[in-house]
Structure 1
Amino acid sequence: MTWTPDCIPDQSGRLAVVTGANSGIGYVTARELAHRGAHVVLACRSRERGQEAMQRLRTEVPHARTELRLLDLADLKSVRSFAEGWSHDRLDLLVNNAGVALVPFSRTADGFESQFGINHLGTFALTGLLMPHLLASANPRVVTVSSEGQRFARFDMANLNAERRYRAAFAYVQSKRANLYFAMELQRRADINGQKLRSMAVAPGLTRSNVLTGGANSTRGRAYGILTRLLLRIAFRPTPDGAKTSLYAATVPDLPGGSYVVPDGPLQLRGEPVLRRRERAIRDSSTAHQLWMLSEQLTDVHYSLSP
């Protein structure tokens, strides 16, 4: 049976945060949640682009309950400000969607290699700082967007922060493996501590978005932009299809914590959402634990969930 956003149950009364919601998969995720009645906070780095996205969303979903809050995962000060400014009594759903891909070498405001710093450390810090609000919910859920590319990562704990040679593709798939480790370790800790929180990871498959053409990638030059846009149009599927795994993980009522949702087609590049259980990283709790401890040290964000 084909799963589509039409299968999403009523989300009325649910309070959600979607990071990177101004475009791509994040925008579609926010729009579909709002369409089904959720109150959605669009967490965006740019006020201008965030406001444009919110206006577009309200045009497409006139009854939408949305708000815009600024968040830059490349700056832990911004992450702390976002969490400290949370004014609701709880948080039911956090979709860790924002990220960068295959960007030229740079460092975040805190000195981290940008892909590791944004994709993993920013996500780790945000989730930890929002944890009290998540645990105040009767049924909290965290969805973290990894990538099908994580399967090809050679995870090197000694080179997570580009301490040695930097290769954009290597750093990207490694940061996405870190997303998967984080999601699984978060579930293990929630279980140990008897919390109802459910942590999921997803891979969207090849999806058209501006992650390869916007942001730092926009400086790569005209030839790169033309070739990349051509590749996106020919080989990548429409953005709403890529958002299916995120929406599935965020809304299927009986989905167990620790699920990894991927497209069911060849190489997880396209297809309908399915659970993937035979994944090495899911079972590698030792590396996940080491990464968690390192992440707490680097971000100075310490979870209330004991190991």
Structure 2
Amino acid sequence: MQSIRNLFRAAWSSDAKLDGKTVVITGANTGIGKETAIDLAKRGARVIIACRDMEKAEAAVKEIMEKSASSEVVSMKLDLSNSQSIREFAEVINRDESKLNILINNAGVMVCPYGKTADGFEMQIGVNHLGHFLLTYLLIDLLKRSAPARIVTVSSMAHAWGSINLEDLNSEKSYSKSKAYAQSKLANVLFTRSLAKRLEGTGVTAYSLHPGVVQTDLWRHLSAPEQFFMKVARPFTKNSLQGAQTTIYCAVEPSLDRESGGYYSDCAPASCSSAGRDDDLAEKLWDLSCRMLSVTWE
């Protein structure tokens, strides 16, 4: 019902400024990440786009600068499928940046063939959840020192079709690319809930969101029938600019200062699946993630 009501709401907009604020956006060389970067740069933020492919990142920086009329846009190398790369990236941010006001966990892989990250994790849970979990962990002290600060994680309505297999998070016993994707997106929602609880009273808030069904490069792994279905559905999908709006809303909307841990869609609170509200499952996933990444996050 919430999503139907949202269809009839006026488009969200805000003139909130971000002068003097620093933002990190993962995977912002294309799609909704790039549109988010353009918007936040227009608002006066220093925007760091964290990307795996530096050639594409440099081209994106040029475009973001041109469209936002801002010179405060830089790119840095970050490969979320490699914990060494994540640690190196975080080390540079912690050393060189005096503050970090907004972290946007945007990068992702979708319904890809079975593969493993450098650390041996199934690619979708590895990049979409564990990579961002580690990145957030490594930057959390800087975020706390920069409070008020926000952590925005891009999930998907696909989380509602997912379940967390705590016994086989890496899908080694059996692999369905769509189930693994849904699992990783459910993990994003659960991570945000647990994170919000741990950050109570720090001035750092956390949000997860569904951007809409967006026409992006992520579709490249869809099967021929799925590609055909998406072409038929195209009139009902969003372009990247429309798809970025809920991310931007979660990053800048002033009324969300007092909210944390929630799930959003179409620039409004939305209801997530019952699994996405399962705090016991969220804690089990949190503990498992810490063990897999060999970190201790109190």
| TM norm structure 1 | 0.88
Shift of 1:259: 2.1
Deviations 1:159-184 (A, max 9, x none): 21112110000000010000000011
Q: Quick one: structure 1 residues 47 and 158, their matched pair in 2 at CA, closer, same or farther if it must change by over 3 Å?
A: same
1:297 and 2:298 are equivalent in the alignment: no
Q: 2:264 aligns with which of 261, 264, 270?
A: 261
Structural mapping, 1:282-293, within 5 Å: 282-293=276-287
Q: Quick one: structure 1 residues 260 and 126, their matched pair in 2 at CA, closer, same or farther if it must change by over 3 Å?
A: same
Shift of 1:104: 0.5
Shift of 1:132: 1.2
1:80 and 2:112 are equivalent in the alignment: no
Q: Unaligned stretches of 5+ in structure 1?
A: 264-272
Matched AA of 1:239: S
Q: 1:105 aligns with which of 114, 120, 123?
A: 114
1:237 and 2:256 are equivalent in the alignment: no
Distance 2:272 2:180 in 1: 23
Where 1:91 maps in the other structure, the secondary structure is coil
Where 1:32 maps in the other structure, the secondary structure is helix
1:16 and 2:23 are equivalent in the alignment: yes
Q: What's 1:121 paired with?
A: 130
| TM norm structure 2 | 0.90
Distance 2:77 2:193 in 1: 27
Equivalent residue pairs, number: 286
Matched AA of 1:138: A
Shift of 1:158: 1.5
Shift of 1:292: 0.6
Backbone CA RMSD of aligned residues: 1.9
Structural mapping, 1:129-148, within 5 Å: 129-148=138-157
Shift of 1:238: 1.1
Contact 2:160 2:276 in 1 (8 A): no
Distance 2:152 2:209 in 1: 7
Percent identity among equivalent residues? 35
Structural mapping, 1:1-307, within 5 Å: 2-4=10-12, 6-86=13-93, 87-191=96-200, 194-213=201-220, 217=221, 227=228, 230=231, 233-255=234-256, 256-263=259-266, 273-277=267-271, 279-303=273-297, 306=298
Distance 1:17 1:281 in 2: 29
Which shifted more, 231-240 or 177-186? 231-240
Contact 1:129 1:301 in 2 (8 A): no
Contact 1:37 1:64 in 2 (8 A): no
Matched AA of 2:143: L
Distance 2:59 2:230 in 1: 22
